[in-house]
Structure 1
C-alpha cells in the first residue's frame, strides 16, 4: 500500500473555519478567559468555600462584558442570538469548568426556564437582573428519588383559591430537590418543577419561580437548603438540596407560557393533551443539551492539545545504537492513541455546528415545523451523549498518554477528568438520551409515539406493522447502494475505495437501518409471543442503544463529509479530508465485529481498514501540532507545567 501525499495546514485559516460565523464572540470569550486565567491556579490551591466565591466573581465579571447573555432578547439586555450564545459557551469550556457549569446553571438553566417557560411578566421581572448576574438562581428539577423520570416528581404545588397562591411542598424525603447547582450558597431564586394540583386533581408537572433566600443569604420561611458536600469535581459550583414546607408564592409566579391558572382556580392550556404539554415544556429547554455537548467537545480539545504537545516534546527510548531517544508521537501506538480521538473531536465539532444552526433557526422562526423540532430535540440528545462520552474517553487517554506527568494537578488533567465526569449524566443520562433517539427512529417521529415513556414505547411498537418500519428504512435500497461502492474483490487489494466518502457513509447507513429494523422485529416478535411489553423492551435495550448510536455516528460523519465538500476551495481541504477519513475508518474499525457478523466486512477487508487507519495516523503525524493549534485555545488555558519543561 502506497502512502498518500503529505498534507499541510494553514493554521490561521483552520481556526477561522472552526470559529465559523461567531468568531468575534469566541474571541471575546477567549479574552475573558485570559483575563481570568488565574482561576485555574485557584482551582488547585483554594479550599472549596473560597473557590466558590472566586467562581461567582468570575461569572459576574463575564456577565459585565456581555459574553454570557447573548441568547436573551435585546430588549432585556441580551444579544438576541442563540447561535452566538452556544458559541460563547463552547469557548468558555476551554477554561475552568466550574465557571462553565455555574454559567450554564445561571444563564442556561435558570435563565432558560424563565425565558422559555415564562411570559412577559416574568421576563420584565427577572431577565435583566439575571443576565447581569445581580439575581442568581438555580434550576430545581432533579429530586433524590427522581432524576430522568421528571413526570413523576414528588414535589407538589397546590393552588389556594382564597389567597391566590401556590403552596409548594416536599411531600417525602425522596422528593427533596438534589444536586442543584447554585442551591447550596448563592441562589436567591429557584425555578422549581412540581406537580400542579387543583382541587385534588393533578395537572402534571409545571415550573414556578420561588424565592429561597433573603438579601443576606438566609433561607426564607418554609425553605430549607443544604449542601451536597464534597464532589468528584466542580468544586467551584455550590450544588445543594432544597426542601419546601408549605412555601407560598403568588399565582403570578407560575411560568405560564403553556398553561395558566385563573384567580378562581380554573386551569387552562392551549395544549389539551397533558403528556404532549409536558414534552413541549421540556423541549423548549433543548439548548441545555446542545450546550453540554459543545462543552464536551471543547474539553476533549483541551485534553488532546495538551497530550499532543507533550508527545512532541517528551522523548522515550530510541533505536538501538542511537544516542537520541524518540519523540512519543513518533511511535505508531502513540499516534493510534491520540490521532483518531483528535479526528473524532473534529467530527463532533462540525456535527455540533449543524446542530447549533438548526437550534438557532428554530429559535428565530415561529413557523419552524413541529416535525423538524422533534428531530432537533432527538439530534441534540444524541449529540450530547456522543460528545460527552468522547470527552471522558479522550481525557482519560490523554492523561495516560502523558504518563505520571499527566497525573499531576499542575497539568490540568486532574481537573479535566474530575470536572467533566458529570457531563455524561447531567442534562440527561446518556443511555436514556439514546433511548429517546431510538424512540423517534422507530416511528418516524410519530405524533402518538412522542407522548410515551420507555414502557409505552414497547406497547406502541406492539401495534406497529414491522413491515412498515422495514419499508420506511428501505434496507433493500441501501444494500443496493452499498454494493455499488463496495470493492470488486474481497481480498483487501482494492483498498483505495476505503477513502471513498460514499463507501464510508454507505457502511454507516447500512448498519443504522439494519439495526433499527432488527429492533422493531424483536419488539414485535416478543410481544406477539405473549411476553409483557415492559419485559420485551428491557430485553432489547442493548439493540435500542446500538440503533441510536449508529444513527448518531452516521449523522456525525455526514456533517463532517458535507463540511469537507463545502470547503473544496479552502487551503486546508486536503488535511480535513484526511481527518474525515480517519474518523470514518476508525468508527468502522471500532464496530468491525458487527459488520463481519452481518456479512458486510470480510476478514481481509477488516485488516485493510486497520492498515488504512495506521497509514492515516502516519500521514497526519507531521501536522498534529497544527491540527490542535487550529482550535485556538489560549496558551494560558493549557496551564501545563510539563509543556514548559525541556526534555
Structure 2
C-alpha cells in the first residue's frame, strides 16, 4: 500500500527515497562473523563511503558546504538504523555529537576552521562528556579547564579516576580530536561546564603528550564502534579552544556570557545538543521495525501443529497468542513513528529559526527526553518479543535478531539514562503546573481535578489542535462502543495524565528545605509515572493527527484500527491503575481485553501490509529464515 508508505515517509519522504535508492546500489556488508578489529575497520570504511554520498552534510550550514536541512539530517540517521547500528552510532558521534557540538556551541572561527574537515571525515572526532563517576549528572563533571592568563591557554586536567572520560565513541582507535566538557576555572572562580576542542592524536595516530587513551574493549553489542577512555594530564590548549557561543574568556581571564545564570547557561548549552537524543529515538524505531518485519514475515510462513479435521498445519500468525505478541508491538511502533516525525519537525523549525523561542525549546527538550525513553524501552521489549516469536531460529546470529537485541540494549542508557529522562519530563510538567496554580491551594487543586484541566502542561501543537477538534465534535458517549471512540480514548489519556500529575504535586507540596530530598525520593515512582503517561498522551495525539491527514480512505481505515489497538493495549497494560482510580469498571476492563483480541484478529490479514509499508530495503531483511519470501 504505497499511500501508507508515503504517509510514513512524511515531510522528508524525498530523503528517505534517495537513501533507499542509494542503498539498493550498494552491497550491504553484514558484520556477522567479524572480530572486533575487523568490524571496526569495516565500519570506518563504510563511514568514508557515507561521507562520499553527501548525506552527512545535511544538518550543517550551507555556507560551509552543508545542506541546511536539520530535519533531513535526523531522518538520514534514522534510516541508518535499518542496517549495522555500529555505523549509525559512529556516524552519530562524528557528525551529530562531535560536529554538532562544534557547530552549535562554537562560533564562526571554529566553524571556519573545523566544519569542512569534520564533514569530509578528514578530522575524525569524539564527544567527551561522560565520566566514569558522572554519566547523568553532567553539571557536576570533575574534569577541569583552568585558564592561565600568562600563557593565554587553558589547562585540561583529569583530577582523579572518577573524572576519566569513559565510553567515548571514536576514542579508542580513530578520533584525532575531542570536544571535552569540563569545569571552566578562571581567576580561581568556577563558571560551570563548558566545551573545549582538544587534540588527542597526531597525524600518525599516536596519542599526544598528556593524553592517555585506553580501549574499552569488547562490548555486549556495537563492537564496530571504538569506545575508549580519555585521561588528560595538564594538557594545554589555546584560549580559542573554548567553544564560546555561550561563554568566553578574555586574554586577561575575564569571563563574559550572554546568559548571567551559570545554571541557566548550562541547561541552554545542553539543550542545543538535543539532536542526538532525537536521533537515538528514531534509530531505535528503525531497529524495531526491522525486527518486527522479520518476525511477522516468518510468522506468516512458519507452521506448527495440525488443525483438527483438515490435515493442515496452522500458520503461526493465525494463533491469537502469536498475534498478541507481535501486533500490539507493531501498533506501538506505528504510534511512536508518528510521534518521532512530529518531534523532528518541531526541532527542524525551532533550530532553523533566526531567534530561539525559549519556551518552545524547553517543551522540545522535554518531548525529546520522554520520547527517547519510551522509544528505546519499546525497542528493547519489542525486539526481545520478535526474537522469541521466531523460536530457536531467532537466536541464530545469521537471522539478525540477536545483533539487533545486543546493539539496541545500550540505547536505554546513552544519550540520557531513561529513568533520569522521565524524571526530567515530570519536573517540567510540575513547573508548568506550578506556574498555572502558583500557590497549589486546595481550591486550585480541586478545580484542576474537577475540570480535568491539563492546559498547563499541554503544548499547542498541530496534533493537539486536531485532537481538540475531534473531542469538541464528540457527543461525550460512554456506551460499550466508546472503547473505539477516538474522543473517549483521547480524554481517557488526558484524564490519566491530569490525575497522576495532580497526585505528584500533592505529595511534593509537603517538601520543605529540610526534607526536600526525602519527599522527592519517596515519590519517585509517582514522578516516573507522570512522565510516562504524559508521553503516552503525546504519542496518541501524534497518531491521531497522522490519521487525520491521511487522504487514502482504505489506508485511513486501517490506520484507525491500528490506533485503536495501540490505545486499548496501553489501557489493558495499565488496567490496575484505571480500575483503582475508577476510570474503568470491571466489566469495561474485561471488554478492553476482548477488544484487543478482536483487533488482533481483525488486523492479522493486514500484518504483512503494515510491515511492508516501512519500505525497509530488502538487503537488510536478508535473513535465512526469510529466504523463501
Partner of 2:458: none
Whether 1:257 aligns to 2:245 is: yes
Output one character per residue of 1:462-507: Cα deviation in whole Å (capped at 9) or x when no partner: x95354873785552459x99x87655xxxxx43211111000111
Whether 1:496 aligns to 2:473 is: no
Residue 570 of structure 2: which of 581, 587, 598 is its match?
587
Q: Give the 3 Å change call, closer, same or farther, for CA 205–608 of structure 1 in structure 2.
A: same
Check conservation: 1:37, 1:637, Cα contact below 8 A: no
Residue 21 of structure 1: which of 1, 8, 11 is its match?
11
Partner of 2:193: 205
Moved more, 26-35 or 199-208: 26-35
In the alignment, the residues of structure 2 paired with residue 642 and residue 339 of structure 1 have an alpha-carbon distance, to the nearest angstrom, of 20
Deviation at 1:29, TM superposition (A): 2.3
Check conservation: 2:5, 2:613, Cα contact below 8 A: yes
In the alignment, the residues of structure 1 paired with residue 443 and residue 204 of structure 2 have an alpha-carbon distance, to the nearest angstrom, of 62
Partner of 2:462: none
In the alignment, the residues of structure 1 paired with residue 29 and residue 49 of structure 2 have an alpha-carbon distance, to the nearest angstrom, of 13
Partner of 2:86: 98
In the alignment, the residues of structure 1 paired with residue 446 and residue 272 of structure 2 have an alpha-carbon distance, to the nearest angstrom, of 32
Q: Give the 3 Å change call, closer, same or farther, for CA 176–472 of structure 1 in structure 2.
A: farther
Check conservation: 2:449, 2:502, Cα contact below 8 A: no
SS at match of 1:312: helix
Deviation at 1:611, TM superposition (A): 0.9
Residue 83 of structure 1: which of 59, 71, 77 is its match?
71
Partner of 2:508: 523
Whether 1:12 aligns to 2:2 is: yes
Q: Point out where structure 1 has 5 or more consecutive residues left out of the alignment.
A: 1-10, 450-460, 489-493
In the alignment, the residues of structure 1 paired with residue 447 and residue 69 of structure 2 have an alpha-carbon distance, to the nearest angstrom, of 37
Deviation at 1:572, TM superposition (A): 0.8
Partner of 2:119: 131
Partner of 2:537: 554
Check conservation: 1:478, 1:506, Cα contact below 8 A: no
In the alignment, the residues of structure 1 paired with residue 433 and residue 123 of structure 2 have an alpha-carbon distance, to the nearest angstrom, of 39
Whether 1:415 aligns to 2:387 is: no
Check conservation: 2:434, 2:440, Cα contact below 8 A: no
Check conservation: 2:376, 2:412, Cα contact below 8 A: yes
Deviation at 1:368, TM superposition (A): 4.2
Whether 1:222 aligns to 2:210 is: yes
In the alignment, the residues of structure 2 paired with residue 355 and residue 468 of structure 1 have an alpha-carbon distance, to the nearest angstrom, of 35
In the alignment, the residues of structure 2 paired with residue 515 and residue 421 of structure 1 have an alpha-carbon distance, to the nearest angstrom, of 29
SS at match of 1:145: coil
Whether 1:442 aligns to 2:425 is: no
Output one character per residue of 1:9-58: Cα deviation in whole Å (capped at 9) or x when no partner: xx111111111121221123224444454321xx1122111110110110
SS at match of 1:44: coil
Partner of 2:451: 476
In the alignment, the residues of structure 1 paired with residue 332 and residue 190 of structure 2 have an alpha-carbon distance, to the nearest angstrom, of 46
SS at match of 1:45: coil
Q: Give the 3 Å change call, closer, same or farther, for CA 632–433 of structure 1 in structure 2.
A: same
Partner of 2:333: 345
Alignment of 1:152-163 (within 5 A): 152-163=140-151
Moved more, 225-234 or 463-472: 463-472
In the alignment, the residues of structure 2 paired with residue 582 and residue 475 of structure 1 have an alpha-carbon distance, to the nearest angstrom, of 29
Check conservation: 2:477, 2:488, Cα contact below 8 A: no
Deviation at 1:318, TM superposition (A): 2.1
Q: Point out where structure 2 has 5 or more consecutive residues left out of the alignment.
A: 455-470
In the alignment, the residues of structure 2 paired with residue 51 and residue 403 of structure 1 have an alpha-carbon distance, to the nearest angstrom, of 27
Whether 1:383 aligns to 2:368 is: no
SS at match of 1:444: helix
Residue 313 of structure 1: which of 273, 277, 301 is its match?
301
Check conservation: 1:316, 1:326, Cα contact below 8 A: yes
Alignment of 1:266-281 (within 5 A): 266-281=254-269
Q: Give the 3 Å change call, closer, same or farther, for CA 35–475 of structure 1 in structure 2.
A: farther
Whether 1:465 aligns to 2:475 is: no
Check conservation: 1:189, 1:210, Cα contact below 8 A: yes
Check conservation: 2:327, 2:600, Cα contact below 8 A: yes
Check conservation: 2:28, 2:620, Cα contact below 8 A: no
Check conservation: 1:466, 1:521, Cα contact below 8 A: no
Number of aligned positions between the proteins: 612
SS at match of 2:306: coil
Q: Give the 3 Å change call, closer, same or farther, for CA 204–173 of structure 1 in structure 2.
A: same
Check conservation: 2:452, 2:498, Cα contact below 8 A: no
In the alignment, the residues of structure 2 paired with residue 464 and residue 416 of structure 1 have an alpha-carbon distance, to the nearest angstrom, of 49
In the alignment, the residues of structure 2 paired with residue 304 and residue 604 of structure 1 have an alpha-carbon distance, to the nearest angstrom, of 32
Check conservation: 2:339, 2:543, Cα contact below 8 A: yes
Check conservation: 1:167, 1:247, Cα contact below 8 A: yes
Partner of 1:292: 280
Check conservation: 1:32, 1:62, Cα contact below 8 A: no
Whether 1:512 aligns to 2:487 is: no
Output one character per residue of 1:52-79: Cα deviation in whole Å (capped at 9) or x when no partner: 0110110111111111121101111211
Q: Give the 3 Å change call, closer, same or farther, for CA 35–243 of structure 1 in structure 2.
A: farther
- Please report the TM-score for the alignment, with normalisation by the length of structure 2: 0.94
Residue 310 of structure 2: which of 314, 322, 340 is its match?
322
Check conservation: 1:442, 1:469, Cα contact below 8 A: no
Deviation at 1:568, TM superposition (A): 4.7
Output one character per residue of 1:76-103: Cα deviation in whole Å (capped at 9) or x when no partner: 1211001111111111101110000001
